[in-house]
């Protein structure tokens, strides 16, 4: 069971224009990072989301719709269900449906992620309108985690710019460069771990 636990959990938030960012990100990412990836996309409550199916074409990792009590495993991608809030409790998901309010799902996940994982929490804000993700990134940063925002490659820059302007973003990069930086973080944590032993 221990081997299945992720070394980091990566929360990924996006809205308008986010789909291309998710696909580009996964295309550039190895499927053996040891991380778990959770994608929160603003989906209309009545939508029958095909997001997991679409993204499964861009990675060898299993892509699953998150459900309550589902364990969070390394080298897996999870997608929020429509009309729900998604939280992390003891290495499993808690799905609250219907969602508590509109377009706050990224903040809700990121805050939960920060509390669950501390310095092993990673938040990524991709393309989208408004400012969902900013408060969540503040929490991740405050508890020692790492935050990313999409650069000028974002089709809609409101969400990534709002997070950057709040001063809570460590890296501003394109989706494929974020994949590169995550791999560097994995290598750095392995070196750090071997020095402790």
Q: Is residue 121 part of a domain?
A: yes
Q: Is residue 143 part of a domain?
A: yes
The rounded distance, in Å, linking the Cα atoms of 10 and 67 is 17
Question: Which contacts of 87-93 are long-range, i.e. CB under 8 A and separated by 24 or more positions?
Answer: 87/112, 88/9, 88/112, 88/113, 88/115, 88/116, 88/117, 89/116, 90/116, 91/5, 91/116, 92/68, 93/66, 93/67, 93/68, 93/69
**Structure confidence at residue 111 (pLDDT):** 98
In the predicted model, residues of the chain with pLDDT beneath 50 are 1-2, 197
Give a yes or no: residue 87 inside a domain: yes
- Pick from 87, 39, 86: nearest CA to 61: 39
pLDDT of residue 40: 96
Question: Quick one: pLDDT at residue 47?
Answer: 63
> Distance between CA 125 and CA 136 in Å, rounded?
10
Q: Which residue has the tokens 């309108």?
A: 129
Count of domains forming the chain:
1
Residue with tokens 């990100």: 25
Please give the pLDDT value at position 189. 80
> So what's the pLDDT on residue 191?
72
- 197 domain-assigned: no
pLDDT at 46: 65
As a whole number of Å, the end-to-end CA separation of the chain is 21
CATH code, domain carrying 12: 3.40.50.180
Show the domain range for 41.
2-192
3-state DSSP: the chain helix, strand, coil percent, rounded to 5?
40, 20, 40
Closest CA to 15 of 113, 128, 98, 103: 128
């Amino acid at each position: 069971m221990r081997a299945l636990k992720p070394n980091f959990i990566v929360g990924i938030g996006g809205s308008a224009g986010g789909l291309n960012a998710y696909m580009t990100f996964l295309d550039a990412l190895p499927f053996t990072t040891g991380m778990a990836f959770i994608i929160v996309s603003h989906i209309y409550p009545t939508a029958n989301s095909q997001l997991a199916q679409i993204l499964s074409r861009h990675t060898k990792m299993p892509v699953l719709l998150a459900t309550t009590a589902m364990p969070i495993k390394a080298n897996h991608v999870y997608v929020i269900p429509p009309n729900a809030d998604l939280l992390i409790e003891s290495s499993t998901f808690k799905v609250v449906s219907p969602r508590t309010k509109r377009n706050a799902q990224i903040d809700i996940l990121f805050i939960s992620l920060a509390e669950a994982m501390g310095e092993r929490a990673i938040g990524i804000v991709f393309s989208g309108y408004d400012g969902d993700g900013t408060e969540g990134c503040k929490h991740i940063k405050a508890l020692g985690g790492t935050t990313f925002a999409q650069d000028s490659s974002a089709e809609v820059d409101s969400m990534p710019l709002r997070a950057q302007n709040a001063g809570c973003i460590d890296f501003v990069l394109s989706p494929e460069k974020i994949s590169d930086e995550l791999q560097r973080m994995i290598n750095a944590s392995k070196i750090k771990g071997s020095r402790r032993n």
